[in-house]
Amino acid sequence: MIDNKPVPLRCVLFDLDGTLLDTAPDLGAAVNHVLVSEGFAPLSEAIIRQTTSHGALGLLKAGLGDELLEELGATRLRTALLDFYAAHLCVGTRPYEGMLELIEWLDERALPWGIVTNKPGFLTEPLLAALPELASCGVTVSADTLPVRKPDPAPMYFACEQLGVDAAHCLYVGDHVRDIEAGRNAGMRTAVAGWGYLSEDEDPADWGADLHFDTVQALHHWLRYELS
């Protein structure tokens, strides 16, 4: 997909879970540990992948439903899930296929890139530390870096300020409607990561993104064209 190049592209920002990294294996292991410990059936891989972008509570709701989750103690179970996840952060987690090649290419072009995620810093920082191939990340904005999180545009502006780039010159890539809203609210170009954790009942065409890519390789191809 080709747009009219409204302004030169000078940086790329990524969501983390479901965009830069496939974290579903480890988040799924954490929610299933909690569910089985409480005497309930584990979630299927398909449900986990459709629900991961909704966070710990979203995963627990998928297994228990709203009423039972509240009855058992949502805060207690969320804490148990996050404790297990923090102890097993990078067992099955991997960058998506083609992502390391894309990052290497961005580095070769000296195009700054960074991460804006709603994952809390106590999880984001050790996870990225376990993946030295992502060490060239220019900025990481976690859920608690600022008082607000996506879809508020403040984390997007903060990332751009840290990189020394105006938001209008940035592309933000994410797999959730709040990612697209955050990017649009900040005046960025936005792209749907179609390889991410999209639910069957979601239609990313309704999100108002500028671009949609089914694979990391398609994004890489577009960037090569855009920066040629």
Pairing of strands 170-174, 11-14: parallel
Considering the candidates 17, 22, 26, 179, report the single residue annotated as catalytic: 17
Q: How far is CA 157 from CA 98, 110, 137, 169, in A?
A: 27, 20, 16, 11
Contact in structure between 73 and 38 (CB atoms under 8 Å): no
- The residue from 3, 15, 206, 210 that is catalytic is 15
Give CA–CA dist 89/155, Å, rounded: 24
- Residue 76 has what DSSP assignment? H
Residue 153, helix vs strand vs coil:
coil
**Which residues, in sequence order, are CB contacts of 179 under 8 Å at separation 6+?**
15, 19, 150, 151, 172, 173, 190
Sign of the dihedral through C-alpha 96, 14, 220, 110: negative
Where would I find the H helices in the chain?
24-37, 45-51, 55-64, 66-72, 74-87, 99-108, 121-129, 154-163, 177-185, 216-226
**Cβ proximity of 117 and 15 under 8 Å:** yes
15 is annotated as an active-site residue: yes
What size, in residues, is the chain? 228
Would you please indicate which residues are annotated as catalytic (active-site) residues? 15, 17
